[in-house]
Amino acid sequence: MAGFAELPEPLSGLNSNDRPPPGQMRLRLLLAYEGGAFDGWQSQPNGRTVQDALERALAELLGERRVVHGSGRTDAGVHALGQVAHVDVPEKRLALHAWAAALNGHLPKSVRVLDARKAPPIFHARFSASGKVYTYRLWNDRCLHPLEVGRAWHLPVPLDVNVVRATAALLTGTHDFAGFAANRGKPEKSTERSIGKIAVFKSGPLMRLRFEGDGFLYRMVRMLTGSMVRVAQGKANMAWLEELLRQPKGRRTSYCAPADGLYLTEVKYGIRAGKAGGALVKNTAAP
pLDDT tens-digit readout, 15-29: 545 889 999 999 999
Q: Cα(68)–Cα(29) distance, rounded to whole angstroms?
A: 10
48 band by pLDDT with thresholds 50, 70 and 90: very high
Q: Where are the domains of the chain?
A: 4-128, 131-266
* pLDDT at 15 (0 to 100): 52
Q: In this structure, which CATH number among 1.20.58.220, 3.40.30.10, 3.30.70.580, 3.30.465.10 belongs to the domain 4-128?
A: 3.30.70.580
**What SS3 class is residue 171?**
helix
H helix or E strand, kind and range, residue 59: helix 50-62
Distance (Å, whole) CA 97 – CA 81: 20
Q: How far, in Å, CA of 233 to CA of 252, rounded?
A: 19
**What pLDDT score does 280 carry?**
29
Q: Is the pLDDT of residue 10 over 60?
A: no
Active centre residues (catalytic): 75
What integer pLDDT is reported at residue 17 of this predicted model? 55
Residue-level pLDDT at 145: 97
Compute the chain's Rg from CA coordinates: 20
Lowest mean pLDDT among 9-23, 200-214, 268-282: 268-282
Average pLDDT of the segment spanning 230-241: 96
Q: Is 131-266 CATH 3.90.180.10?
A: no
Kind of pairing between the strands at 192-203 and 173-176: antiparallel
* CA-to-CA dists, residue 283 to 19, 72, 83, 236, angstroms: 15, 18, 17, 43
**Residue range 141-197, pLDDT digits in tens:** 999 999 999 999 999 999 999 999 999 999 999 999 999 999 877 778 899 999 999
Mean pLDDT of 55-83: 97
pLDDT band of 129, cuts 50, 70, 90: very high
What is the model's pLDDT at position 188? 83
Predicted confidence (pLDDT) at residue 50 exceeds the cutoff of 50 = yes
- The mean of the pLDDT values for the chain is 89
**3-state SS of the chain: helix, strand, coil percent to 5?**
25, 30, 50
The answer, yes or no, to whether residue 32 has pLDDT greater than 60, is yes
